[in-house]
């Protein structure tokens, strides 16, 4: 809007200037013509015509002088008002000669535009001031040489527990240590420091910069109280950690408990009716061994999760995929039988081997299979398939299929984000942890899902 008005003023000024130059040129030409006429009449020695020509020449010279002076007086008056920033003056557009009326109209347009620009700048300043007052970040700007405060918001004073002040020397006289930490020390990069207020210490994040306005240097300081945020985040982290550890431990304890219950049932039947129910020592030994291995894996998982980000190497060993599948099948089969969920393990290459940390990969498979159980438990014929194969480029892939409800497309990109979950009782760490374990093995985890049809999760080694 303002730019359009300035453009219109510029067009009008050009047009008025051309008209003024044309009228001035005509007056000058007329004066030159009169001078030549006067010289000619002097040559003819005609006294009466010479006198008349002199009168006409004096008259046009005087009016031309007034014509030029009038515009300069008006312009001088306008520039005097501009000098003192007086844009409230209104010039009469309906009085005076036409060129003067045009000039007055132009001045009024300029005054109106400048007032509009000032009004917009004042509004922007108010908006900015309100925004800076509302943020919970403390901001202060002051003159480096004099210490005079250019601007500061309430958050700055509340964070430092100080009343309003006009010069930073006020802080120096009240709290010298605080003055040195905030105003005397330079913090080019954001830095966290502790400051003493009353009988407590708080931690703040501080940064500053120096800027120049004409000949004066100013310093801008930004502070934020992060003490409450750190305490809140620490509390939330502990809650999430406890939730995650409980979730992961229960994922392993439930199959162990189910397997132990099955073994105890067989053992009790063998004790009560030894003739009809003979105790299979091999099955008992295999079950106990599985419980022992999973318990060891659970202990290692707890230690691994605690320091997962610090792990630099894995306890890798070459292990057959068939042995891995046997362990998972023996562990998961009893609980799946109770829920009437069929699970099938298949190897395209019977002797397929893999360098892996078997305890961690077992945890990955358990997490994924339990997710598959939740997804397909509402189906009439729930089914889970676990297939291991080797690709032509020698990659080993373990795929877990289920015919469950599938994953909605709108949350597909979020399922690996820590603590994201679509379950009412989930922790949101299972798949995230699976992904981290696969990354430790220099592998990756891929998900392909169709809502209502099922999901395929691929572990690529």
The tens-digit pLDDT sequence of the chain (461 residues) is: 445 544 554 555 555 566 667 777 787 888 788 788 778 778 777 777 778 878 887 887 777 777 777 777 777 777 777 777 777 777 777 776 666 777 777 777 877 887 788 788 888 877 777 777 777 788 888 998 898 988 888 888 888 888 888 998 898 888 888 888 888 888 777 787 888 776 667 788 888 888 888 888 888 888 888 776 666 655 665 566 566 666 666 666 777 777 777 777 777 777 777 666 666 667 777 777 777 777 776 776 666 555 445 445 678 888 888 888 888 888 888 888 888 888 888 888 878 888 888 888 888 888 888 888 888 877 888 888 888 888 888 888 889 898 888 887 777 776 776 555 666 555 556 777 788 888 888 888 888 888 888 888 888 88
Domain around 448? 232-460
In angstroms, the CA 351 to CA 320 distance is 7
What's the pTM value of the predicted model, to 2 decimals?
A: 0.39
Indicate which CATH number applies to the domain containing 342.
Answer: 3.30.565.10
Same domain, 164 and 110: no
Q: Does residue 439 sit in the same domain as residue 318?
A: yes
CA 96 to chain centre: 61
Among candidate residues 136, 285, 103, 325, the one with its CA nearest the CA of residue 223:
136
- On whether both 216 and 245 belong to a single domain, the answer is no
Do residues 337 and 384 share a domain?
Answer: yes
Asked if 305 contacts 433 with a C-beta cutoff of 8 angstroms, the reply is yes
End residue of a domain, out of 225, 243, 268: 225
Do residues 146 and 260 both lie within one domain?
A: no
Residues 249 and 104 in one domain: no
Q: Kindly state whether residues 283 and 248 are assigned to the same domain.
A: yes
Looking up tokens 């004073």 gives: 157
Residues 198 and 328 in one domain: no
For the chain, the domain total comes to 3
Instruction: Map tokens 């009782």 to a residue.
Output: 425
Judgement on whether residues 212 and 252 belong to the same structural domain of the protein: no
Residues 220 and 252 both lie in one domain: no
d(CA 291, CA 331): 8
Residue 381 phi/psi, 5° resolution?
-125, 75
Instruction: Give the position of tokens 């966290």.
Output: 192
Please check whether residues 440 and 339 belong to one and the same domain: yes
Residue 334 contacts residue 266 (beta carbons within 8 Å): no
Q: Which of 204, 225, 246 is the last residue of a domain?
A: 225
Compute the distance between CA of residue 335 and CA of residue 129 in angstroms, rounded to an integer: 64
Q: Same structural domain for residues 106 and 142?
A: no
């Amino acid at each position: 809007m303002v730019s359009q008005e300035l453009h219109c003023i510029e067009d009008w000024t050009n047009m008025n200037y051309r008209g003024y130059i044309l009228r001035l040129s005509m007056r000058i030409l007329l004066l030159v013509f009169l001078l030549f006429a006067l010289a000619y009449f002097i040559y003819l020695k005609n006294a009466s015509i010479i006198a008349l020509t002199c009168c006409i020449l004096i008259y046009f010279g005087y009016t031309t002088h007034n014509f030029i002076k009038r515009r300069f007086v008006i312009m001088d008056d306008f520039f005097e008002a501009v000098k003192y920033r007086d844009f409230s003056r209104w010039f009469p557009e309906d009085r005076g000669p036409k060129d003067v009326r045009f000039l007055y109209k132009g001045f009024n347009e300029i005054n109106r535009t400048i007032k509009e620009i000032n009004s917009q700048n004042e509004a922007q300043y108010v908006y900015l001031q309100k925004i800076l007052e509302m943020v919970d970040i403390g901001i202060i700007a002051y003159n480096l040489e004099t210490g005079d405060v250019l601007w500061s918001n309430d958050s700055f004073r509340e964070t430092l527990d100080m009343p309003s002040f006009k010069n930073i020397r006020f802080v120096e006289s009240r709290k010298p240590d605080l003055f040195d930490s905030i105003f005397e020390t330079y913090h080019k990069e954001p830095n966290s420091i502790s400051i003493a207020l009353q009988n407590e210490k708080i931690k703040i994040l501080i940064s500053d910069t120096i800027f120049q306005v004409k000949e004066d240097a100013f310093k801008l300081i930004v502070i934020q109280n992060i003490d409450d945020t750190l305490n809140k985040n620490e509390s939330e982290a502990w809650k999430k950690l406890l939730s995650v550890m409980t979730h992961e431990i229960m994922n392993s304890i439930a199959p162990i408990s189910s397997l132990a219950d099955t073994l105890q049932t067989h053992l009790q039947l063998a004790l009560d009716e030894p003739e009809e129910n003979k105790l299979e020592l091999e099955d008992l030994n295999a079950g106990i061994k599985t419980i022992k291995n999973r318990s060891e894996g659970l202990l290692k998982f707890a230690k691994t999760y605690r320091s997962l980000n610090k792990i630099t190497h894995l306890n890798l060993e070459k292990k057959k995929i068939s042995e891995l599948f046997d362990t998972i099948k023996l562990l998961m089969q009893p609980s799946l039988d109770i829920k009437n969920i069929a699970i099938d393990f298949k190897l395209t290459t019977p002797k397929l081997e893999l360098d892996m940390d078997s305890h961690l990969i077992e945890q990955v498979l358990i997490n994924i299979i339990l997710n598959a159980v939740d997804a397909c438990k509402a189906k009439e014929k729930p089914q889970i398939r676990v297939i291991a194969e080797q690709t032509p480029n020698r990659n080993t892939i373990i795929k877990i299929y289920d015919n469950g409800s599938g994953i909605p497309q709108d949350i597909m990109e979020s399922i690996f984000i820590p603590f994201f979950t679509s379950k009412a009782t989930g922790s949101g760490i299972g798949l995230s942890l699976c992904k981290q374990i696969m990354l430790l093995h220099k592998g990756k985890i891929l998900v392909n899902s169709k809502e209502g049809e099922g999901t395929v999760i691929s572990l690529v080694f």
